[in-house]
């Protein structure tokens, strides 16, 4: 049941509309000192970021932020600081990913395609290095063993670099959350709309000025309100229609207006 709930959260996370304040490619440019700190002291950065993501309220702490089956079963309520230290040192990858999921769920942040490619490349390189290590143990070839060691070093380097960029991305996002970039621009309130009234003056006409009438002919009269300029006059009333007394005596029909209607 819990795994199904986490799967549904993962699917919902794909439909988030907001974006990270900076992507993984530009984190080292945005905050170079913290990126270096997250590279050389990665567990310490993960500890500080998780605590900050919880608004420094460790009573809300749960192991791996509640995204793992062991969450809530490690005695976090008794000693949350010690449990968080254990998490960031023994399960460093999960600690970084859990903080990331917390921020994404709180602010509806999606992961860009570029970030997905970088994270996917990191995982694929780790899998390839693992496969080469297994093959080297089975075959016993020195060349394959050297290739597996080279791939393992490359995978570790990419993993540490991407995790440092991810933690810097989390830190920059929380700087934005805490208002360290100054007040964010808010949408302006649209002006109040007014309903047109029949007693308001007719606005001035727009477009071309009316052309003068030819010499010796009367000037054209303006058309009635609501009809285009030059509209032909209405035809004379039909025979038998009373010229006065409008509306006719039978108006309005019986039952109109309905009860409760107010003009």
Query: In terms of pLDDT, which residue wins out, 140 or 231?
Result: 140
- Structural domain of 50: 2-177
Looking at residue 72, its pLDDT comes to: 77
Query: In terms of pLDDT, which residue wins out, 48 or 144?
Result: 48
106-122: pLDDT as tens digits: 999 988 888 889 989 99
Looking at residue 133, its pLDDT comes to: 86
172 falls in which pLDDT band (50, 70, 90)? very high
Q: Is residue 200 part of a domain?
A: no
Q: Is residue 236 part of a domain?
A: no
220 falls in which pLDDT band (50, 70, 90)? low
Cα separation, 36 vs 52, in Å, equals 19
Section 142-157 average pLDDT: 88
Cα separation, 184 vs 23, in Å, equals 19
Looking at residue 221, its pLDDT comes to: 55
Q: Is residue 155 part of a domain?
A: yes
Looking at residue 67, its pLDDT comes to: 80
Q: Is residue 230 part of a domain?
A: no
Q: What percent of the chain has pLDDT over 70?
A: 65
The single residue listed with the structure tokens 């727009």 is: 206
Q: What percent of the chain has pLDDT over 90?
A: 34
Number of domains within the chain: 1
Q: Is residue 102 part of a domain?
A: yes
Looking at residue 73, its pLDDT comes to: 78
Section 34-41 average pLDDT: 95
Query: In terms of pLDDT, which residue wins out, 139 or 197?
Result: 139
Cα separation, 84 vs 246, in Å, equals 87
Q: Is residue 186 part of a domain?
A: no
Instruction: Answer yes or no: is pLDDT of 254 > 70.
Output: no
The DSSP secondary structure of 83-150, one letter per residue, reads: HHHHHHHHSHHHHHHHHHHHHHHHHTBPPPHHHHHHHHHHHHHHHHHHHHHHHHHHH--HHHHHHHHH
pTM for the model stands at: 0.64
Residue 155 burial (10 A CB sphere; 0-12, 13-18, 19+) = buried
Calculate the average pLDDT of the chain.
75
Identify the weakest region by mean pLDDT among 42-46, 76-80, 202-206: 202-206
Asked whether the beta carbons of 174 and 103 are under 8 A apart, the reply is yes
Section 12-23 average pLDDT: 84
Q: Is residue 214 part of a domain?
A: no
Q: Is residue 13 part of a domain?
A: yes
């Amino acid at each position: 049941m819990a795994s199904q709930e986490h799967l549904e959260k993962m699917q919902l996370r794909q439909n988030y509309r907001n974006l990270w304040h900076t992507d993984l490619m530009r984190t080292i440019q945005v905050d170079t000192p913290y990126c270096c700190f997250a590279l050389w002291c990665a567990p310490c950065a993960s500890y500080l970021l998780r605590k900050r993501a919880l608004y420094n309220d460790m009573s809300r702490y749960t192991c791996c932020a509640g995204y793992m089956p062991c969450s809530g079963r490690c005695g976090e309520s008794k000693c949350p600081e010690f449990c968080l230290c254990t998490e960031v040192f023994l399960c460093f990858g999960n600690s970084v990913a859990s903080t990331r999921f917390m921020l994404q769920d709180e602010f509806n942040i999606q992961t860009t395609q570029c970030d997905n490619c970088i994270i996917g490349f990191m995982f694929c390189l780790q899998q390839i290095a693992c496969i080469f290590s297994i093959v080297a143990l089975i075959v016993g070839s020195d060349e394959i063993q050297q290739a597996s060691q080279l791939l393992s070093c490359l995978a570790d380097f990419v993993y540490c670099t991407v995790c440092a960029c991810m933690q810097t991305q989390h830190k920059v996002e929380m700087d934005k959350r805490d208002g360290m970039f100054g007040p964010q621009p808010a949408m302006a309130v649209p002006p109040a709309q007014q309903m047109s009234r029949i007693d308001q003056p007719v606005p001035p006409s727009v477009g071309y000025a009316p052309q003068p009438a030819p010499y010796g002919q009367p000037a054209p009269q303006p058309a009635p309100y609501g009809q285009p300029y030059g509209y032909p006059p209405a035809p004379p009333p039909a025979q038998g229609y009373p010229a006065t007394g409008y509306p006719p005596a039978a108006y309005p029909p019986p039952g109109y207006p309905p009860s409760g209607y107010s003009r």
